[in-house]
Amino acid sequence: MSKDTILNAIRRGLKRGPLPEDQALGLRARMAAHPRHLIPARSRIDRPGQIALFLRNIEKEFGTFTRVPDLDAIPEAVADYLTANNLPSDFAMAPHPELAAIPWSNRPLLTQRPGRAQASDLVSLQHGYAAVAETGTLVLPAAAVRPTTLNLLSDTFMVVLRASRVVGAYEEAWDLLRAENRDERSGGFMPRNVMLVTGPSRSADIESTLELGAHGPRRLHVVLVDDDPAAFA
């Protein structure tokens, strides 16, 4: 069997048989502890600094953002963004309770269609699970309430993110997922898919020159909800 062929060939190269049990125990302990390595100092700063770093990196990566005080302010922020960019007012929206709780009726001209994205959707609105200040990266684990297609199929990708969910480094986002997520299928914490998204889609394949909007969204817009008192400078 190929599995044995491969494992035996590796062991031959390593000049040993199967790993002795005491060493295997050590490796299992390392996996269980999943130690962090060096975390760059750039994100080891206070909360206001982390939020500022996150927003700076969003812009560095060709994204845009609006900062709003609470959920009530989201419909207006979304409507303004769509109007300013000449975009349609209907969009596919993640069926997440936090997004459903937004008072959309304040802006009756906006139409939300909760569910996964369809190929014809021009605009989508996703629920941001968390974000990493270090590189301006959105953390989007797949779930029934956070379909993956919303991240990919639309031309304009909007994400509602709470400031309290902005962490400094990737490792801190993994810790959130490890602590909060339970996957029925595997018994672990990883859902089917976790997308880390840093800016809108792009390609430099044509004459080594950067163009935005290759296969995924051409625009990325973050609506940051200031729910974190510690995050105010």
Partner 1 sequence: MQIRSPAFKANVSAALADERLQKALEFTRPAFPSRRAAAVADLPEFEQLRDIGRDIKNHTLANLDFYLEIYAANVERAGGIVHWCSTADEARAAVLAICEKAGARTVTKGKSMISEELGINAHLEAHGITPVETDLGEYILQIRNEGPSHIIAPAFHLNRNDWEESFRKVHTDLPADRVFNERRDILTEARTRLREKFLAADVGITGANFLIAETGSSVIVTNEGNGDLTQTLPRVHIALASIEKLVPTLEDATSLLRLLARSATGQDFSVYTTFSTGARRSEDLDGPGEYHVVLIDNGRSGMIGTEFQEMLRCIRCAACMNHCPVYFTVGGHSYGWVYPGPMGSVLTPSLIGVDQAGHLPNASTFCGKCESVCPVKIPLPKLMRHWREHEFERHLSPSAVRTNLAIWAWFAMRPQLYRIATRIGARVLGWLGRKKGRLSSLPLAGGWTAGRDLPTPEGDTFFARYARLQREGKL
Chain-centre distance for alpha carbon 220: 12
Contacting partner 1 (CB under 8 A), which of 179, 215, 229, 233? 215
Of 199, 197, 195, give the one whose Cα is nearest residue 220.
199
Residue type, 176: L
CB of 197 to partner 1, least distance (A): 6
Per-residue CA distances from 52 to 57, 126, 132, 136, 201 (Å): 9, 22, 12, 10, 23
How long, in residues, is the chain? 233
* Closer by beta carbon to partner 1, 79 or else 194: 194
List Cβ neighbours of 24 (8 Å cut-off, separation of 6 or more).
none
Q: Does position 135 bind partner 1 by CB under 8 A?
A: yes
Contacting partner 1 (CB under 8 A), which of 54, 121, 200, 223? 200
CB of 1 to partner 1, least distance (A): 8
Contacting partner 1 (CB under 8 A), which of 87, 213, 226, 228? 213
Q: Does position 112 bind partner 1 by CB under 8 A?
A: no
Q: Does position 207 bind partner 1 by CB under 8 A?
A: yes
* Helix/strand/coil for 77: helix
* Helix/strand/coil for 172: helix
Q: Which of residues 6-45 bind partner 1 (CB under 8 A)?
A: 6-7, 9-15, 18-19, 23-24, 27, 30-31, 34-38, 40-42
List Cβ neighbours of 103 (8 Å cut-off, separation of 6 or more).
71, 72, 75
Which residues face 123 on adjacent strands?
A: 156
Q: Which of residues 161-180 bind partner 1 (CB under 8 A)?
A: 170-171, 174
Radius of gyration of the chain (CA): 21
CB of 55 to partner 1, least distance (A): 15
Contacting partner 1 (CB under 8 A), which of 103, 188, 230, 232? 188
CB 110 within 8 A of CB 89: yes
CB of 51 to partner 1, least distance (A): 18
Place of tokens 């014809």: 120
Q: Does position 151 bind partner 1 by CB under 8 A?
A: yes
* Closer by beta carbon to partner 1, 71 or else 190: 190
CB of 107 to partner 1, least distance (A): 25
Contacting partner 1 (CB under 8 A), which of 66, 176, 202, 228? 202
Q: Does position 192 bind partner 1 by CB under 8 A?
A: yes
